[in-house]
Amino acid sequence: MRKPLEGVWNVVRFNWHFYGLAAGALLVLAAVAAGRPAWRPYCLLLMLLAGGPLLVSLLVSYYVYDRSALYKLSWLPAQLPAGAQLVNIHAGFDETSSLLQQRFAPVPLRVFDFYDPALHTEVSIRRARAAYPAFPGTQPATPAALPLPAASISYVFVLLAAHEIRSEEQRVVFFRELRRVLAPGGRVVVVEHLRDAANFWAYTIGFLHFYSRSTWLRAFGAAGLTLVQEKKITPFVSAFILAHDGAAT
């Protein structure tokens, strides 16, 4: 079970350098406003321009990661067919494997981590990996080569991780690999924030770390995957349910 405020607290503690700098800047502006009455309107305006988006991003993060259905997994099927094989793939920070195992037990779950310190250099991921132990049995992998037989997996979950593959060509290679391991009738579940108006309102320029809906659809199509269903888990997070494109090579 996730703890109260766990999601927004993780955002803050894994990015404390950013929030520390922001808090320091706001304190300096507040001090200047208190000591220089003539500058006060300008300082207050700057505090509003800097602090307002920061507060909004934390409130949205609290809603998405602590209050929404995202980690409750209620948007997934209640149960899976007997004999189903599940795989969860993440990029160094795994908040979902234990939740998936709880929801679908006793269906076995395999977990792969494609974190590469040479490519994923964000300090927030290093802090997250240090704070959270790996799910038991997690195996390292690369996006281009999963150690799985062809047509063997019923469900592949890639939850808030695929955007860490920053090259479009490599994303297509990754999704082709998912198509290779997907069993007949199987599904790939991709969950992502999108580079759209809602996420711009929530995270301002931080939304550039995400990709647009059209970018994801182009990658899915190039990899031979068809969009079966698209769900808005929240206004800020989308789930893409994918299957084999029978016409693709």
pLDDT over 60 (residue 247) = no
At 86, phi and psi to the nearest 5?
A: -115, 145
- Model confidence at 249, pLDDT cuts 50, 70, 90, reads very low
Over residues 181-233, the pLDDT tens digits come to 999 999 999 999 999 999 999 999 999 999 999 999 999 999 999 999 999 99
pLDDT over 80 (residue 246) = no
| 86-244: CATH, from 3.30.43.10, 3.30.70.960, 3.40.50.150, 3.40.50.2300 | 3.40.50.150
- Model confidence at 83, pLDDT cuts 50, 70, 90, reads confident
Asked whether 183 and 155 are in contact (CB, 8 A), the reply is: no
Over residues 160-192, the pLDDT tens digits come to 999 999 999 999 999 999 999 999 999 999 999
Tell me the HSE value of 77 on the side-chain side, using a 13 A CA sphere: 13
CA dist., res. 165 & res. 227, Å (int): 20
Q: What angle do CA 87, 239, 55 make, to 5 degrees?
A: 115
Number of Cβ within 10 Å of residue 130's Cβ equals 9
What pLDDT sits at residue 248? Answer: 42
pTM above 0.95, yes or no: no
Query: Domain boundaries in the chain?
Result: 6-67, 86-244
Q: What percent of the chain has pLDDT over 70?
A: 98
Asked whether 56 and 62 are in contact (CB, 8 A), the reply is: no
At 246, phi and psi to the nearest 5?
A: -60, -20
What pLDDT sits at residue 119? Answer: 82
What pLDDT sits at residue 64? Answer: 98
Contacts of residue 101, defined as CB under 8 A and 6 or more positions apart, other chains included, come to 109
pLDDT over 60 (residue 44) = yes
| Average pLDDT over the chain, rounded to an integer | 93
